[in-house]
A and B are shown apart, each in its own frame.
Chain A
Amino acid sequence: MHKTIVALSALLLIQSNTFASGSGKQNVVLDKKNAIYWQDTRFTEKSSEDWDDARAYCEALELDGMKQWRLPTFKELLTIVDYTRVEPAIHPVFAYVNQGTYWTSIDFSATLSRAWTIDFRTGKTYYSYKTTNHSVRCVKDLKSTTVKDSK
């Protein structure tokens, strides 16, 4: 609980009403509208993992004292695409970005050998083979943190 409060207090509002990023720690972006934290670290920029490893990475992640991370759903990842920009087409609050393809947790409906991705060079969406290597940006539900914190 103490860790949680420290992590929350590190999150200062510097951008729009929707997103806030930590000023001291640059590891986490808070998405208030969707009530989730976004990972924003060097790994977010440099990572290249197949789908299984991407999922395992998020599940094992501990960031600013916070656990219980996961891959974003397709619709969560779509919320940080900014279609008024390209190269990269991402909300400017994020510091660690590459112009590549990022994994989502959502299986492709026609075959389980593929999962949905979003290419942050332009915002193109596609179903990629799970054995392909892509970048990873994990999310964490705000609920699991704030419920504890409010007591």
Chain B
Amino acid sequence: MKQIAATFLLSATLLMANSSKVDEKSGLIWQDNQDVGEVMLTHSEAKAYCASLDVDAYEDWRLPTLKEFYTIVDLTQNRPALKNGFDIRDDGRYWTATVFAKNPKKEAWYIAMSYGEAEAYNKSRVYHVRCVRNNIVK
């Protein structure tokens, strides 16, 4: 019963898997376990973390690009500006895989999930990480 009630609370495009969420609209699967709220890493650590992540028995995780991350941003909401359907809703800054073209070695883009703005910043900063994987079409 509880399971059914929880499923009804999810938005139309997000389906429940255990510790990840499927976004049917984009075809992307997003990490959604406690780590998302707790782990804080530098940019290079974030990339390595996603590459070694094992969630819901999948191992092909990666750091999302800036444009991919924006597919789960909902600018009509704030604190966090995150689509409905995710359980982990911490509203700090999240790394994206997109490096800053003007200074690609030193800076990369983050999205601040309180309101949803994106800015490039030094890769040595420690921010949240929400990894993504591609939904494999059979």
Q: Which residues of A contact B (CB under 8 A)?
A: 74-75, 78, 83-87, 89, 106, 108-110, 116, 122-127
Contact = CB atoms under 8 A, between A and B. Distances in A.
Interface stretch (B31-39, B49-57, B111-119, B124-132): B111-119
A110 B102 contact: no
Given A109-B115, A127-B115, A122 B120 contact: yes
A125 B102 contact: no
Contacts of B81: 109
Given A78-B70, A83-B109, A86-B101, A110 B118 contact: no
Contacts of A87: 102
Contact of B119 (A74, A106, A124, A127): A124
Contacts of A108: 75, 115
Given A89-B101, A116-B75, A124 B67 contact: no
Contact of A84 (B75, B101, B117, B118): B101
B66 interface: yes
- Pairs A-B, 9 closest by C-beta atoms: A86-B102, A109-B78, A125-B118, A86-B101, A83-B98, A125-B117, A110-B78, A126-B117, A124-B119
B118 A123 contact: yes
Contacts of B117: 124-127
Contacts of A125: 116-119
